[in-house]
Chains A and B, each alone.
Chain A
Amino acid sequence: AQKITQTQPGMFVQEKEAVTLDCTYDTSDPSYGLFWYKQPSSGEMIFLIYQGSYDQQNATEGRYSLNFQKARKSANLVISASQLGDSAMYFCALSRLAGYSTLTFGKGTMLLVSP
């Protein structure tokens, strides 16, 4: 069975500061992927970043980076230079890369960016 744990129900950060959103996972699959999605108040799910379990380097996409620590089974999202528009719900998710695959989500972290 696959499991994602996001222990921070809510986080506050000031504009222009960096913030780390925590995510730990559990899986018995040898090959898997880790995802982060952003959900603003409008409700759409916006794909942010992906990390494959065999990728040697941590994934980065603009201001987003994924701090992947395989031995600790953690996949934290780092947002640099926060902006007011980053205020949203953030979800970490896990998929297997072999066979038929689905996304298993954590319960999410609400990020609020203040001026």
Chain B
Amino acid sequence: DVKVTQSSRYLVKRTGEKVFLECVQDMDHENMFWYRQDPGLGLRLIYFSYDVKMKEKGDIPEGYSVSREKKERFSLILESASTNQTSMYLCASSDRVLTEAFFGQGTRLTVV
């Protein structure tokens, strides 16, 4: 059974904290993605990676960074969490040619 696993289902952090969201896939996929989901806005792409140590900005990269040191792991970093980063974060992975993408269960992050 294919799997994308996110490290936390729910997370509460304080303003100004450095936050790490981890994502691991077991399908040997080249592509990995981080999306943010907010009501009425759908899913918006934060960053994606098409290979180890490679990263590309998505539509809303401000306030975020990413790390991909191993093929199976893609981390999203909030350098200094702010309340407007309270959201649902979804990780996904796919083969190089994107004909199917698998998502993790999502992390609901609340910044207080």
Contacts and interface: CB of A to CB of B under 8 A. Distances in A.
A45 B103 CA distance: 6
A101 interface: yes
Contacts, number: 62
A105 interface: yes
Given A91-B42, A100-B50, A52 B99 contact: yes
A93 to B, nearest CB: 8
A107 B41 contact: yes
Nearest to B45: A102
A68 interface: no
A43 B105 contact: yes
Contacts of B99: 33, 50, 52, 95, 97
Interface stretch (B18-26, B68-76, B90-98): B90-98
B43 interface: yes
Range for the number of chain A residues in contact with chain B = 20 to 34
Contacts of A95: 98-99, 101
B102 interface: yes
A100 B54 CA distance: 12
A45 B42 CA distance: 12
Contacts of B33: 102-103
Contacts of A96: 98
B42 A105 contact: yes
A101 to B, nearest CB: 4
Interface of B: 31, 33, 35, 40-45, 48, 50, 56, 58, 88, 90, 92, 94, 97-103, 105-106, 108
Given A42-B105, A43-B105, 8 more contacts: A33-B98, A37-B103, A44-B106, A47-B100, A95-B99, A105-B43, A105-B44, A107-B42
20 contacts: A33-B99, A37-B103, A43-B106, A44-B103, A44-B105, A45-B90, A47-B102, A50-B100, A91-B43, A95-B98, A97-B99, A100-B50, A102-B33, A102-B45, A102-B58, A102-B98, A103-B101, A104-B45, A105-B35, A107-B42
